[in-house]
């Protein structure tokens, strides 16, 4: 049986262990296993936001736009090596929902001879809703699943399943879609900053993602879009804003998009949100995506081993190459176990209908966190089976 | 002739003068006349952002979403009295460009029997570009101007002209459009927080605006949308995101929008951006829109009197009821005068082809700022006529 000293040994041997010191830990008693939903706060973000508010905004005033104007592209370039993109292929702005809306529309404009958009019925809700809305507005049909692609215009697909953490083979599925004449818009929301996705090597052309999960960019941090360089000049997206104009301050009568990734920009982007995203992304870039991904593998492997030993069921793949940065514990009482865990300082999250997600965020999660969290889950689950009414209401254990 | 002591007397008598102390002033030598482009930094924003980053994010972690989820609506309710809206009629999120895109699409969906979108050729660029993009995607026609509305589906129109500060009669033009069977989407970007627009009394149904100008919400602060309560249940916008879902965390298979203003929400909103917007809006709400509007009238009247006395041309209306919160000085050398002024610590901005904008932001602009700024403009303009090459390059005067 694995014991707590095994977890301690793994933490001591962890080459990324010191990165946790780069984050604010305000209550050491908290075991945070939800960095896959909202990443922790980099200490440097606190000082950098303060500098931007008091220096760049309060002192620099309107003149600071000289340095802010290209921030969506600069933060994009910082993110690029983490997802296998080249400089100039990524832009960070607005929300993932808006980014996805732009890219699905743009992809459809490149496949006007076809009317089907393929998406999985188990896909993350906002992706399905965005696709439904576009289909509704443009007379397209939504098809569930990816088996038949011969008449599909656009595939919308997550690299990492938000419940099970199952990973799709991006290169193989991009090639299969291309062979069938379909374009794929990849969603890396649950992949970026934890999995070594190499969009360039995979031949991926379009992708979106967020920066508030494993990239630690803060609550509601901006989304991002990736467009392969060769496709950029042909891309037309539907929301025509002045930040995308080739000569923005000429304020001319007619929209003419930039030739590059900047054509995806819309209105004035939030500089505070971009600043926090930049600091979070910078930490991951410093750690290196291969090192991050290796630690994610080790953490999730450790979690799966503990699940087996503790008798906890999981829907997360055993093959490390097919697994993202979290582990799904499946339990009938998941809905009540999650708040019961939180009442005991173990923070996870619940996903319908029966999943407790254990986030393994490589820069902040320790092996001891995974150990302590899963041991408590097993203990509460056992109590739950014997006494189903218990949901962390025992004051002695809070 | 007006003298500087007249300006000092006006500042001493100004009932809003103390509000300037609520803002960070890092260099008292700077005369900031660009609060109409980027408002100054409320001191409270600095502390509040710090609290949100270190408290709500770093300590509260994922649990803080309980208090963040309805922030777009709460900040909207704070803004509502400044624009004559009722609680529940305003939501703050994403950018003005995205908000406008949503509302123009939604308005078109209510007027499917008509194909014309009317917008002025002199309208703010992003508004024209958004309309061009929608027309391009949906087969609508864009018409320049508002003379003929008999076949118009949707009118897109700014309340305050971004160059001249000329103001449209919202009630009269809303009524005229309604009588002609057209819906108006009002743009209050240059009006909100400076002009006492009463959208409810005017019968306005749809409006958007930004919060980084007179509302002092920070660089790239979120935009906002207003939808009259009666219209909300009928409104369908095209970007279907999970924050608009009537049961967001059920993550069900099909999009079903909230019945209220929340149906305009998209993806996860930036909490840092919303926090800064909230603090800026709170200051304006505390000052009161009638008091703010009265001071804007007084500041712009003072500026126009000085323009006349100093021999500076202006395109801003003389009628205070037809004038927003800035004054447009028109000069052939405007393009070079603006950086020359900046080199001498007077911050204005340039708009094509020949406008120097003098922002009169009631919570931060003093009558002495307007006086000192316009006297320097007149002085540089006189130098410029005698020596056209001067553009603030004289080191002795920097």
List, for residues B319-342, the tens digit of each pLDDT value. Answer: 999 999 999 999 999 999 999 999
**Contact between residue A54 and residue B24 where contact means Cβ atoms under 8 Å apart:** yes
Read off the pLDDT of each residue in A338-356 and give the average, rounded to a whole number: 97
Percent of chain A with pLDDT over 90: 94
Q: Check B242 against A24: CB less than 8 A apart.
A: no
Read off the pLDDT of each residue in A352-356 and give the average, rounded to a whole number: 95
**pLDDT for residue A384:** 83
Q: How many CB atoms lie within 10 A of CB A245?
A: 23
Q: Check A95 against B241: CB less than 8 A apart.
A: yes
| Marked catalytic residue, from B278, B357, B366, B371 | B357
**pLDDT for residue A389:** 45
Q: To the nearest whole number, what is the mean pLDDT of chain A?
A: 95
- Asked if the A4-42+289-382 domain carries CATH number 1.10.2020.10, the reply is no
Is B351 part of the contact surface with chain A (CB cutoff 8 Å)? yes
- Paired tokens of A387: 């006494």
Read off the pLDDT of each residue in A367-396 and give the average, rounded to a whole number: 76
DSSP 8-state class, residue A270: P
Delimit the CATH 3.40.640.10 region(s) of chain A.
69-287
Q: What are the residues whose beta carbons fall under 8 Å from the beta carbon of A153, sequence distance 6 or more? A: A107, A108, A111, A113, A114, A115, A116, A117, A140, A182, A183
Delimit the CATH 3.90.1150.10 region(s) of chain B.
4-32+288-397
Name residue, tokens 């490149």.
A110
Residue B386 pLDDT class (50, 70, 90 cuts): low
Out of B137, B241, B266, closest to residue A238 by CB: B137
Distance, CA of B205 to chain centre: 18
**pLDDT for residue A396:** 35
Burial zone of B254 (CB within 10 Å; 0-12 exposed, 13-18 middle, 19+ buried) = exposed
Read off the pLDDT of each residue in A41-68 and give the average, rounded to a whole number: 98
Is B130 part of the contact surface with chain A (CB cutoff 8 Å)? yes
CATH architecture of A69-287: 3-Layer(aba) Sandwich (3.40)
**pLDDT for residue B397:** 34
Out of A59, A222, A268, closest to residue B212 by CB: A268
**pLDDT for residue A397:** 35
**Quick check: A258 pLDDT over 50?**
yes
Q: Check B130 against A239: CB less than 8 A apart.
A: yes
Quick one: which of A1, A2, A6, A94 has its CA closest to A366?
Answer: A6
Residue A246 pLDDT class (50, 70, 90 cuts): very high
Q: What are the residues whose beta carbons fall under 8 Å from the beta carbon of A50, sequence distance 6 or more? A: B46, B49, B50
**Quick check: A187 pLDDT over 90?**
yes
**pLDDT for residue A386:** 65
**Residue B178: active-site member:** no
DSSP 8-state class, residue B55: I
A-chain residues within 8 Å CB-CB of B347?
61-63
**Quick check: A385 pLDDT over 90?**
no
Q: What are the residues whose beta carbons fall under 8 Å from the beta carbon of A184, sequence distance 6 or more? A: A154, A155, A156, A157, A173, A174, A177, A204, A205, A206
DSSP 8-state class, residue A52: I
- Paired tokens of A14: 């962890």
Is B15 part of the contact surface with chain A (CB cutoff 8 Å)? no
Delimit the CATH 3.40.640.10 region(s) of chain B.
46-287
Residue A161 pLDDT class (50, 70, 90 cuts): very high
- Paired tokens of A85: 């993109």
pLDDT in tens, B229-283: 999 999 999 999 999 999 998 888 899 999 999 999 999 999 999 999 999 999 9
CA distance A1 to chain B (A): 32
Residue A46 pLDDT class (50, 70, 90 cuts): very high
User: Where does B4-32+288-397 sit in CATH, by number?
Assistant: 3.90.1150.10
Residue B387 pLDDT class (50, 70, 90 cuts): low
Q: Which residues pair with A119 in a beta bridge?
A: A144, A156
**Quick check: B2 pLDDT over 80?**
yes
B-chain residues within 8 Å CB-CB of A342?
63
Angle between helix A43-51 and A271-287 (nearest 10): 140
**Quick check: A393 pLDDT over 70?**
no
**pLDDT for residue A276:** 98
Residue A109 pLDDT class (50, 70, 90 cuts): very high
**pLDDT for residue B388:** 45
**pLDDT for residue A375:** 98
Q: To the nearest whole number, what is the mean pLDDT of chain B?
A: 95
DSSP 8-state class, residue A23: B
Quick one: which of B218, B192, B210 has its CA closest to B48?
Answer: B218
Give B332's Cβ-side CA count (13 Å radius).
Answer: 5
Q: Which helix (H) or strand (E) segment is A192 a member of?
A: none
Out of A126, A253, A266, closest to residue B98 by CB: A266
Name residue, tokens 């995101």.
B241
Distances (CA, A) of A27 to A55, A284, A308, A345: 30, 23, 30, 10
- Of all residues in chain A, the one with the smallest CA distance to B220 is A270
Read off the pLDDT of each residue in A102-123 and give the average, rounded to a whole number: 97
Gap between the Cα atoms of A55 and A46, Å rounded? 14
First to last CA, chain A: 28
**Contact between residue B346 and residue B372 where contact means Cβ atoms under 8 Å apart:** yes
Residues 186-215 of B with CB under 8 A from A: 210, 212
**Quick check: B391 pLDDT over 60?**
no
Q: For residues B95 and B249, which has the higher predicted lDDT (pLDDT)?
A: B95
DSSP string, B307-357: HHHHT-EE-S-SSGGGB-SEEEEE-TTHHHHHHHHHHTTEE-EEETTTEEE
Q: What are the residues whose beta carbons fall under 8 Å from the beta carbon of B37, sequence distance 6 or more? A: A62, B213, B349, B357, B359
Q: Check B219 against A271: CB less than 8 A apart.
A: yes
Gap between the Cα atoms of A395 and B120, Å rounded? 66
- Paired tokens of A5: 């000293």
- Paired tokens of B321: 């009821």
Q: Check B240 against A27: CB less than 8 A apart.
A: no
Residue B390 pLDDT class (50, 70, 90 cuts): very low
**Quick check: B198 pLDDT over 60?**
yes
**Residue A162: active-site member:** no
Considering only the C-alpha atoms of chain A, give the largest distance between any 2 of them, rounded to a whole number of Å.
Answer: 71
Pick the CATH number of B46-287 from 3.40.50.720, 3.90.110.10, 3.30.460.20, 3.40.640.10: 3.40.640.10
What φ, ψ does residue A181 adopt, rounded to 5°? 85, 15
């Amino acid at each position: 049986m694995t014991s707590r000293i095994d977890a301690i040994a793994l933490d001591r041997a962890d080459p990324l262990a010191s990165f946790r010191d780069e984050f604010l830990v305000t209550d050491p008693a908290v075991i945070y296993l939800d960095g896959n939903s909202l990443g922790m706060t980099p200490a440097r973000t606190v000082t950098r936001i303060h500098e931007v508010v008091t220096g760049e905004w309060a002192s620099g005033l309107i003149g600071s736009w000289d340095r802010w104007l290209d921030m969506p592209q600069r933060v994009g370039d910082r993110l690029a090596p983490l997802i296998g993109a080249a400089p100039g292929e990524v832009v960070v702005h607005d929300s993932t929902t808006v980014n996805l809306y732009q890219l699905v529309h743009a992809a459809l404009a490149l496949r006007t001879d076809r009317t089907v958009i393929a998406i999985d019925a188990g896909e993350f809700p906002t992706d399905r809703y965005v696709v439904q809305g576009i289909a509704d507005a443009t007379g397209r049909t939504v098809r569930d699943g990816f088996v038949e692609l011969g008449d599909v215009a656009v595939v919308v697909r997550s690299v990492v399943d938000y419940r099970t953490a199952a990973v799709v083979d991006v290169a193989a599925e991009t090639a299969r879609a291309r062979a069938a004449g379909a374009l794929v818009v990849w969603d890396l929301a649950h992949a970026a900053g934890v999995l070594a996705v190499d969009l360039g090597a995979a031949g991926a052309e379009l992708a979106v993602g967020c920066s508030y999960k494993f990239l630690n960019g803060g609550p509601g941090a901006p989304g991002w879009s990736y467009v392969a360089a060769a496709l950029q000049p042909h891309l037309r997206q539907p929301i025509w804003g002045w930040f995308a104009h080739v000569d923005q301050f000429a304020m001319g009568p007619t929209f003419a998009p930039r030739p590059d990734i900047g054509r995806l920009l819309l209105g004035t982007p939030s500089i505070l949100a971009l600043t926090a995203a930049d600091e979070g992304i910078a930490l991951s870039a410093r750690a290196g995506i291969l090192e991050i991904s290796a630690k994610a593998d080790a953490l999730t492997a450790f979690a799966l081993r503990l699940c087996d030993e503790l008798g906890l069921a999981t829907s997360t793949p055993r093959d490390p190459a097919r697994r993202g940065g979290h582990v799904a514990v499946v339990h009938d009482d998941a809905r009540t176990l999650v708040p019961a865990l939180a009442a005991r300082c173990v923070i996870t999250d619940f996903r319908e209908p029966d999943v407790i997600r254990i986030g393994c965020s490589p820069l902040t999660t320790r092996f001891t966190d995974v150990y302590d969290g899963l041991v408590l889950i097993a203990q509460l689950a056992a109590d739950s089976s014997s006494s189903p009414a218990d949901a962390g209401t025992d004051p002695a254990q809070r």
